[in-house]
Amino acid sequence: MILSRVRCARVLQLTLAIIKPDAVAHPLILEALHQKILENNFIIVRRKDLIWRRSDSERFYVEHKGRFFYQRLVEFMSSGPMRAYILAREDAITHWRELMGPTKVYRARYTSPRTIRAQYGLTDTRNTTHGSDSSESAEREIAFFFPEFSVQHWRDVEEPCFRAGH
């Protein structure tokens, strides 16, 4: 017997979000950010608490190698525990990046004071959160943090299905 899945009316997008060491260090901020994820209708697909070695940090941020902030960044990202999430939602990538706000904390405070980085960021390096910036980077970053996770298996078995008209 062939079981075919009901055709879903929409397909959720996946993104990789990180709560960086500066925010994980403060339990109330960590909790506030977790609540923000839930309030914004993201599905938490997977979650992992971990500490990077410096080499993990260097590999993840290789695109920034040579920039003036690179050493600071890789040191900071391997300085303490962080939390990674795979999040699902319609337009998950854009939506999470909008919630985070601009990369630079002082710009965020000036232009978008209600964003996460404006509210909780400490400096341009210690800016609380990361979010994938494209579907290609989401795919790469999800595999980086969750090598055991199969997107296809999740779509086949776990992805909530909203049928047309429901």
Name residues whose C-beta falls within 8 Å of residue 81's C-beta, 6 or more positions apart in sequence: 21, 24, 25, 49, 50, 51
* 20 labeled part of a ligand binding site: yes
Q: Of 86 and 159, which CB lies nearer to ligand GDP in the complex structure?
A: 86
- What residues act catalytically? 130
Segment contacting ligand GDP by CB under 6 A, of 1-9, 41-49, 121-129, 140-148? 121-129
Helix (H) or strand (E) segment spanning residue 120: helix 116-120
Q: Exposure pattern of 135-159 as b/e (b: 16+ CB <10 Å)?
A: eebbeebbeebbeeeebeebeeeeb
Cβ 72 to ligand GDP, closest distance in Å?
6
Residue 110 engages ligand GDP in binding (rule: CB under 6 A):
no
DSSP 2: -
Segment contacting ligand GDP by CB under 6 A, of 21-29, 44-52, 124-132, 138-146? 124-132
Residue 115 engages ligand GDP in binding (rule: CB under 6 A):
no
- Distance, in Å, from the CA atom of 35 to the CA atom of 93, rounded to the nearest integer, reads 18
* Sole residue written with tokens 């008209």: 165
Binds ligand GDP by CB under 6 A, chosen from 34, 36, 72, 109: 72
What type of residue is 74?
A: V
Cβ 60 to ligand GDP, closest distance in Å?
10
Judged by the rule CB under 6 A, the positions of this chain that interact with ligand GDP are 64, 69, 72-73, 103, 124-125, 127, 130, 133
Binding-site sequence positions for ATP: 20, 69, 97, 103, 117, 127
